[in-house]
Structure 1
Amino acid sequence: MIDQIKKFSTFSILLFLMFGCSITDYDYDFPTIEESSIESISEEGVVLSAKISKNKSAYEITEYGFIWWQNSVRKVTKTFEEPLEADEFSFTISSGLAANESYFYTPYIKFGNIKAEGEITEFISKGSQAVVFDDFYPKVISWTDTLYIEGKNFSFHPYDLNVYVDQRLIQIVEVTDTKIKAFLPLNLTKRINNVSIRATGIEVKSDDQLTLLMPEIIDFTPKRAKEGDKIQITVKNLLPLPYTFNKFYWGDQEFFVHEERGNLITVEMLSGSNVTGSKKIRAEIANTEFFAESDEDLIFVDN
């Protein structure tokens, strides 16, 4: 254990000069972190503990916890705000630690506008519990829906926790220890996709696959059009992006998109010697397998 733990003599009391307060406003007999220690290091994680000294009872400790990091720019904080009943507190880092990697930690307390930190201690991790991927929902989803992932050991991976759909990184917007909230990437090209999580170099895949809804053409009007007429097409499940990504065709001839307002698309009827007869309207997302066709034909009428 001694080889795996190294303490540094750095001790700091950080004064937050809030509400116009200064250091001269305070009695210097502050509570401090008297001792910090690592109770155990195992493949299940690390147990940290700290002891408070000096006149604790004279001050209300409003917050306490631990800060740990590999890179000082990327620190992780576990905060407790419930009343501190004793002079000691502890916490187990059960996930987010890679085996045989060096980490640093320090305990801290807050009272009033003052934050007191303990010694900085270095330790060598033996690893920790991997993330567990239990489920995700909805299983069938549109581009604008929110994806939820359930499991555990998510919350201590703020910098190396990534979620992928079809190996494409997706945007995580909220994380707790048991749930991830995320938005789909807009560069998916397939309808059926695998979902996976990567953390501390380990990838975990879901047993189920995610299905993206195909586009639909709900209706269009008018049903008969001449050259230059504006045709309004009501669609759903297309990309929430400009029409450079969403394409519209009359048969195999591409429409000029005049306007796009949400699910209401306005196109202009084609012109030329080969514009004749009646054909279905087709909508597709460029360079993907997503497309839809109208139930009815659009009929071209000559002037």
Structure 2
Amino acid sequence: MMKIRYAHIGLLLVSVLFGACNLNKNPFNSEAFPVLETLKMFDITENSVTVRGRILNLGSEPVTDHGFVWSRLESPALPNDGHGSLGKATTEGEFSFVITELKPGLTYYVRAYARTAERLVYAAPVRFRSGGSNHIVIERFEPLMGTWGDTLYIYGRNFGENQSLIRAYMGGEFMKIVSAKDGIQLTCIVPEGAQGDSVPIKVVSPGHGEATSSRMFKLIGPEVSSIEPTEGNFSTLLTIRGKRFDERLEYNKVLIGGKESEILDGNTDWLQARIPPELDHSPATVMVERRLSTDSAEEKFRILPPQILALSSEKLQLGDTLTITGLNFHPLPGQNHVMFDIRQAEVVDASVDALKVKVPEGPYQRRRFPLSLEIFGNTTQSQMLLTLNKWVQKPDLPLALSGAIAFVLEGRVFMGLGNGNGGNVKDFWTYSSATSNWSWVSSLPGEERQQAFAFTIGEYAYIGGGSNNGHFLNDFWQYHAANNSWQRLADIPGPKGKKVAFELNGEGYVLNYLNGEQGFWKYDAAQARWVAGPTFQFDGLYHAPEVGFSIGGAGYVIGMMGDRFDGECWQYKPELDQWQRMGDLPRYSAGMRIQVFQGNAYALVGHRLERNIYVYDHASDSWSFYDYFGGSTRYGCATWVESGRMYVGGGVLENRSRTSELWEYEPNP
């Protein structure tokens, strides 16, 4: 019987391959099986061999015994063939035996086994041939570690006398043999192609077989000691100093922040490389790789913060291209984050010292603001910029609304009522043009509604009319901004129809219409009463008044001429207490608004008006085309004037969806 000289257990990861023999249980219940494999042999001599196996999975049943079985036959088996037991196994991993008293020059088969109470499982067998009396034996090598090009000494016996016939390998790569001495020593050079941290040594010689070392040679890769400079920009050339770099530059790889860099020059102890344009963070680790071995510098390379030195213009037209010159920009456009107020700009071209950006359309919180540039968390700002566009989109309303009203009371903007996507509302918000923020303030105590009217007298706002769920309302309310309170006043006289209103000389006027019945009423705020006024008959096929406004000491009402697209315009003069037909608005539209601004009346935002704006000169009683609205066609908006600017918010778009957009108009930005 062959004897077991020693045994030990180790760990190694390899592919799974096993065979099995079952006792009394279903062999396909793989969860219960221990899974194991037979590994490659080491240290084959004429009368001994180191055999190795590994348990990949212990299975669900305790392993009471494991070891090896061997024979001259292809499928050695217990109990009749040679075997060695290691006893029970409690952990997964590698195990090995040294089997002695082999006969020289013969072929053997060996396989690992594991036994449970109910099963005996075999791994696939591995074949080996024992050495003859002159079989190669590797006893040791030195040094145990080194790098490519180093000298390696291998000691043993039976290497052979003819150096030209001996072959030495490191991890599969051929090693150059410098000298062979008396068949017991080889002097070799560590090959450039060797890869991996730990690799085996193998010697092959005709007539002497082959042998593989039981120990591994540790390959020592490049060593990075320093980088200079440690900060710069994307035009900086980085010098990396260290040891064991390859003198052939193409066999080195420099990674900065994980991105491969172009190597420009170098030798075994220094390399010069560019900062890769793909770098996407800072600071970044600098690593050198040679033959899959790597080392990194302790210090990281940092991209310097960007600096803006000049702009091609300080006055902007939205949609134009602006050139920014400066220092330390990113050469990839998408890595430069340029902000115009609250809007991120598209960077269309980039280099380390110049950026070309498209000025975004909006929305904006301010017309005057600095441009900001952020790269890798570092931010810089330019001098103040000015948008030259008359119309600028601002941050949205708090709700997408149509048919809302707005008024300015004691320097504060209020907007409310209208129809949202969920129905009519009765909420009011206040707007700060300085911060472009909206704040909820109150709710009308009465019904929700849309298409109401509002005017202000002194410290009070007056709100009334409108419609809710298909019926018109006649209630009338007073709002006091100072204490955020509401008071219901006497209802509006006359029919419950559509109403338009205007304020004139500290008094409010309301025109009320329903199915041809018309009423015109003045509200005397001092006496808190309604006073009937004169009415008139529209000349056209009149449906309803659309909008009212006051300018130049007179009030105006515009209604539709049903057989034409013109807007029929009537003027009321309080000193005469009568109405007079005036020049027609060239293009009437339902849902339009007329806003008095800087001494003129502007008709805008109605779906038939499209984006056209018409201005009314009350002195000459004439309407003319003025300009285009900054946004798309819409109607049913809220408009107001505050701090020398006109605002248009909300409304219904051409696709019949409500919008929360807010637009600001400044005629001379």
- The TM-score bracket by the shorter chain reads 0.5 to 0.7
Q: Identify which of structures 1 and 2 has the higher relative contact order when contacts are C-alpha pairs closer than 8 Å and 6+ apart.
A: 1
Q: C-alpha distance in 2, partners of 1:94/1:152?
A: 18
Q: 2:199 aligns with which of 80, 90, 100?
A: 100
Q: CA deviation at 1:162?
A: 4.7
Matched, 1:141 2:215: no
Q: C-alpha distance in 1, partners of 2:337/2:247?
A: 43
Matched, 1:43 2:131: no
Q: Which residue of 1 aligns with 2:377?
A: 289
Q: CA deviation at 1:290?
A: 4.4
Matched, 1:263 2:353: yes
Matched, 1:280 2:384: no
Q: CA deviation at 1:138?
A: 1.4
Q: CA deviation at 1:149?
A: 1.1
Matched, 1:237 2:328: yes
Q: Which residue of 2 aligns with 1:252?
A: 342
Larger radius of gyration: 2
Q: Which residue of 1 aligns with 2:274?
A: 183
Q: C-alpha distance in 1, partners of 2:335/2:283?
A: 20
**Once the two structures are superposed, what CA deviation does each residue of 1:226-266 show, in whole Å capped at 9, x if it has no partner?**
4455432113322222x344332212212344655763334
Q: Which amino acid aligns with 2:198?
A: A
Q: C-alpha distance in 2, partners of 1:189/1:153?
A: 29
Q: CA deviation at 1:207?
A: 2.8
Q: 2:385 aligns with which of 285, 298, 301?
A: 298
| Paired residues of 1:191 and 1:290 also in contact (CA < 8 A) | no
Deviates more, 1:180-189 or 1:276-285: 180-189
Q: CA deviation at 1:122?
A: 9.9
Q: Which residue of 1 aligns with 2:206?
A: none
Q: CA RMSD in A?
A: 5.1
Q: Which residue of 2 aligns with 1:126?
A: 217
Q: CA deviation at 1:272?
A: 5.2
Structure 1's 145 and 262: CA in aligned 2 closer, same or farther, altered over 3 A?
closer
Q: C-alpha distance in 2, partners of 1:291/1:122?
A: 64
Q: Which amino acid aligns with 2:226?
A: D
Structure 1's 272 and 189: CA in aligned 2 closer, same or farther, altered over 3 A?
closer
Q: Which amino acid aligns with 1:101?
A: P
TM-score (normalizing by structure 1): 0.54
| Paired residues of 1:189 and 1:289 also in contact (CA < 8 A) | no
Q: C-alpha distance in 2, partners of 1:163/1:146?
A: 13
Q: C-alpha distance in 2, partners of 1:272/1:169?
A: 36
Aligned length: 228
Q: Which amino acid aligns with 2:377?
A: E
Q: Which amino acid aligns with 2:353?
A: N
Q: C-alpha distance in 2, partners of 1:183/1:189?
A: 15
Q: C-alpha distance in 2, partners of 1:122/1:198?
A: 31
Q: CA deviation at 1:128?
A: 4.5
Q: C-alpha distance in 2, partners of 1:158/1:252?
A: 47
Structure 1's 76 and 217: CA in aligned 2 closer, same or farther, altered over 3 A?
farther
Alignment of 1:169-208 (within 5 A): 169-171=259-261, 173=263, 174=265, 176-198=267-289, 203-208=294-299
**Once the two structures are superposed, what CA deviation does each residue of 1:168-219 show, in whole Å capped at 9, x if it has no partner?**
1433525521122333344444332333445577653423222111222111
Q: Which residue of 2 aligns with 1:216?
A: 307
Q: C-alpha distance in 1, partners of 2:312/2:297?
A: 43
Q: CA deviation at 1:298?
A: 0.8
* Local SS of the residue matching 2:337: strand
TM-score (normalizing by structure 2): 0.28
Q: C-alpha distance in 1, partners of 2:253/2:286?
A: 11
Structure 1's 103 and 138: CA in aligned 2 closer, same or farther, altered over 3 A?
farther
Alignment of 1:24-103 (within 5 A): 41-45=142-146, 46-47=150-151, 93=190, 98-102=197-201
Percentage of identical aligned residues = 16
Structure 1's 76 and 218: CA in aligned 2 closer, same or farther, altered over 3 A?
farther
| Paired residues of 2:307 and 2:328 also in contact (CA < 8 A) | yes
Q: C-alpha distance in 2, partners of 1:146/1:280?
A: 33
Q: C-alpha distance in 2, partners of 1:263/1:186?
A: 14
Structure 1's 290 and 143: CA in aligned 2 closer, same or farther, altered over 3 A?
farther
Q: C-alpha distance in 1, partners of 2:221/2:351?
A: 45
Q: Which residue of 2 aligns with 1:16?
A: none
Q: C-alpha distance in 1, partners of 2:237/2:261?
A: 10
Q: C-alpha distance in 2, partners of 1:208/1:267?
A: 34
Q: CA deviation at 1:269?
A: 3.9
| Paired residues of 2:170 and 2:200 also in contact (CA < 8 A) | no
Q: C-alpha distance in 2, partners of 1:71/1:91?
A: 14
Q: Which residue of 1 aligns with 2:111?
A: none
